[in-house]
Amino acid sequence: MSLERKTALITGASSGIGAATALKLAANGAKVGLAARRTERLEEIVSQISRAGGQAIALEMDVVDVASVEAGVSRLAETFGSIDILFNNAGLMPLSDIDALKTDEWHRMVDVNIKGVLNTTAAVLPHMIGQKSGHIVNTSSIAGRKVFGGLTVYCATKHAITALSDGMRIELGKKHNIRVTCVQPGAVETELYDQISDPAARQQMEDLKTQMEFLKAEDIAETVLFAVESPRHVDIAEVFVMPTQQAW
């Protein structure tokens, strides 16, 4: 399905998978709303898209703040006339063992990784329901399929996104012609690891980089493009994307 005249909203778009996907969708004809808190980074990507002949706008958005989300969604719809694709990509991964009791990090992960998806979905859904079409793509993880030590709370949030995605697909597909895709990457080279404050957990991730070639953000962008360009009658419900050298 062509992305020409389609509008995509991407959260967590200032770096990593979000930024790579914004560039990829814009290069394939979509108009893109890039949402994140770091507006200076967003403006740089918007300029890059514009220089390449695409259309994009920067949306200052904190997915935890409902008013911020609703304002960004309204601005995107007013600018481009529709919202056809939502990529719920904003997320945090400050890993630590449960007995480290980093409770602030736990709550922040729940707020961003789960509530952020709910907030953005709730703001976009009325537009998709009204136009009787749409495609929601949620970023889960290998951690949404398997539990790892040191990632317990993160795994819990990503298991929630995997379950939410399947439930959304069941409820929205036949009734509203809205497709839902859950993307579940393995190890990806992004800024996500910069959020790890626990030294042991950070070293664990650094050691992992010496054992395999991580996926690149562009690999996941290609996956998202594959899902949203699939024929209208096809819903790529789940995509499990792993580095060749990663068993789990």
Catalytic residues: 154
Give 180's strand partners.
Answer: 136
72 and 61 Cβ atoms separated by less than 8 Å:
yes
The count of other CB atoms within 10 Å of the CB of residue 66 is 15
DSSP codes of every residue in 48-93: HHHHTT--EEEEE--TT-HHHHHHHHHHHHHHHS---EEEE-----
Both tokens assigned to 98: 């449960």
Q: How far apart are CA 156 and CA 150, in angstroms?
A: 12
Tokens 């007013």 label which residue? 78
